[in-house]
């Protein structure tokens, strides 16, 4: 596993935000189910989205790359893949492929991935598919990948699903459920986490002609039978990545401006703008031109933050806490234990190496920063969001090391290059 050495840095300049990973996943899968030619404009090409492209191709979908577009020749009848579908490290790909595999006309689909993927829970989705008449199961009988799905037809009916682990289960059912034999009425049991990602799913589905009704609390859905139609869809800049870049500007910057942002499409991680304001950071927002500028701040205010709907902001808020004059409490994050890694546990243990006091209870973390951060050797456990966050934290030390540089290919391949461009001292 590769590592980088980071030295104290002063950032200044402009960075173009990479395209959204979550929107790229959704646009690819949905356009693949729309019979005809669609154009996905400005997609993110990364390890995770390549896994989605390869999965769609395995179902017989033709996808061409032309300039900054992906041209998708969708089908409403999917073929049985010739081989096992390997989703690599992409949880979104695994959950969506599992649901979509139920649309294959006869035959079986086998889905697996890397070590991290084979540890991630699938039980809520498998139980929901069973209610819809789909036979799916774990080869190891532990409700985790490898997963086998028997193709056939989805029987529309009233079903229930657990929403407390991942919103990807619900999004998968929504995307595939459009092609059920009859309408589906989906109810969510327990707390629904990451609701903003479901909103993004419904937004993309509507752009391709689908019709979904849902309750304000995102716990009840009515999925209509209405085939997808081809469309052109432009992927917005990724506010998950923008959150990291803005935190770098606040923590180690003079002035850092992030461009290529679209405020019109729903993205839960837009919440970072409100969080930065609450912390007392100085930011300037220009919605017309799609930019946000973060100004370096010497000291931030401690606050309490509920991230139940925006789990990807946990690493960002955690490192922002390092400049807080007061303790920071982050809660509603128990489901971050089921991401690429147990993010809650790793953030707590790695920040301690910097001299930070952390306390973890089942659904929250409390962070008390020291007056001065220690140099440290930090291990991201090959988790892309943790790696990028730890690199930014390292810019506030004299010299620190972060393991796991290869992981940035998952969501932000040009991260190191972009950071160096604005003054980051990374070797």
| Rounded Cα–Cα distance for residues 417 and 392 (Å) | 14
The two tokens of residue 285 are 């927002």
Return d(Cα 407, Cα 45) in angstroms, integer. Answer: 14
Question: SS in 3 state form for the chain?
Answer: CCEEEEECCCEEEEEECCECHHHHHHHHHHHHCCCEEEEEECCCCCHHHHHHHHHHHHCCCEEEEECCEEEEEECCCCCCCCCCEECCCCHHHHHHHHHHHHHCCCCEEEEECCCCHHHCCCHHHHHHHHHCCCCEEECCCCCCCCEEEECCCCCCCEEEEECCCCCHHHHHHHHHHCCCCCCEEEEEECCCCCHHHHHHHHHHHHHCCCCEEECCCCCEEEECCCCCCCCEEECCECHHHHHHHHHHHHHHEEEEEEECCCCCCCCHHHHHHHHHHHHCCEEEEECCCCEEEEECCCCECCCEEECCCCHHHHHHHHHHHHHECCCEEEECCHHHHHCCCCHHHHHHHHHHHCCCEEEEECCEEEEECCCCCCCCEEECCCCHHHHHHHHHHHCCCCEEEEECHHHHHHCCCCHHHHHHHCCCEEC
| Closest to 346 measured CA to CA, from 384, 395, 310, 373 | 384
Catalytic residue from among 312, 379, 383, 418: 312
User: What whole-number distance in Å separates Cα of residue 252 and Cα of residue 11?
Assistant: 6
Q: And the tokens for 327?
A: 């303790």
Q: Give the β-pairing of 36-41 and 3-7.
A: unpaired
Can 274 be counted among the known catalytic residues?
Answer: no
Query: Cα separation of 92 and 136, whole Å?
Result: 18
* Separation CA 241–CA 387 (nearest Å): 12
Active-site residue list: 312
């Amino acid at each position: 596993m590769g590592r980088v050495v980071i030295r104290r840095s002063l950032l200044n300049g402009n960075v173009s935000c990479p395209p959204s990973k979550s929107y790229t996943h959704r646009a690819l899968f949905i356009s693949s189910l729309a019979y005809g030619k669609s154009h996905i404009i400005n997609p993110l090409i990364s390890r995770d989205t390549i896994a989605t492209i390869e999965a769609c191709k395995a179902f017989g979908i033709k996808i061409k790359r032309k300039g900054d577009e992906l041209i998708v020749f969708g089908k409403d009848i999917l073929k049985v893949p010739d081989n096992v579908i390997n989703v690599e490290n992409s949880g979104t790909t695994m959950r969506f492929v599992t649901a979509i595999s139920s649309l294959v006309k006869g035959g079986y689909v086998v889905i697996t991935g890397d070590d991290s993927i084979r540890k991630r829970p699938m039980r809520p989705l498998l139980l929901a598919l069973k209610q819809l008449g789909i036979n799916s199961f774990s080869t190891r009988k532990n409700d985790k990948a490898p997963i086998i799905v028997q193709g056939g037809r989805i029987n529309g009916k009233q079903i229930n699903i657990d929403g407390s682990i991942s919103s990807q289960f619900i999004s998968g059912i929504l995307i595939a459920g459009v092609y059920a034999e009859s309408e589906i009425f989906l109810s969510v049991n327990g707390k629904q986490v990451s609701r903003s990602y479901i909103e993004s799913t419904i937004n993309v589905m509507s752009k391709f002609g689908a019709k979904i009704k849902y309750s304000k609390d995102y716990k009840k859905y009515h999925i209509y039978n209405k085939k997808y139609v081809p469309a052109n869809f432009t992927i917005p800049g990724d506010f998950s990545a923008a959150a990291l870049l803005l935190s770098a500007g606040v923590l180690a910057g003079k002035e850092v401006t992030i461009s290529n942002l679209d405020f019109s499409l729903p993205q839960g991680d837009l919440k970072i703008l409100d969080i930065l304001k609450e912390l007392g950071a100085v930011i300037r927002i220009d919605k017309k031109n799609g930019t946000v500028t973060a100004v370096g701040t010497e000291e931030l205010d401690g606050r309490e933050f509920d991230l139940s709907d925006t789990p990807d902001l946990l690493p960002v808020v955690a490192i922002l806490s390092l400049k807080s004059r007061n303790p920071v409490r982050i809660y509603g994050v128990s489901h971050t234990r089921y991401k690429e890694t147990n993010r809650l546990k790793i953030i707590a243990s790695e920040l301690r190496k910097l001299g930070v006091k952390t306390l973890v209870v089942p659904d929250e973390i409390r962070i008390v920063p020291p007056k001065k951060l220690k140099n440290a050797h930090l291990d991201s456990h090959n988790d892309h969001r943790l790696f990028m966050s730890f690199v930014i934290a390292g810019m506030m030390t004299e010299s620190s090391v972060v393991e796991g540089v290869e992981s940035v290919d998952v969501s932000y391949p040009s991260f190191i290059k972009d950071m160096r461009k604005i003054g980051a001292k990374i070797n």
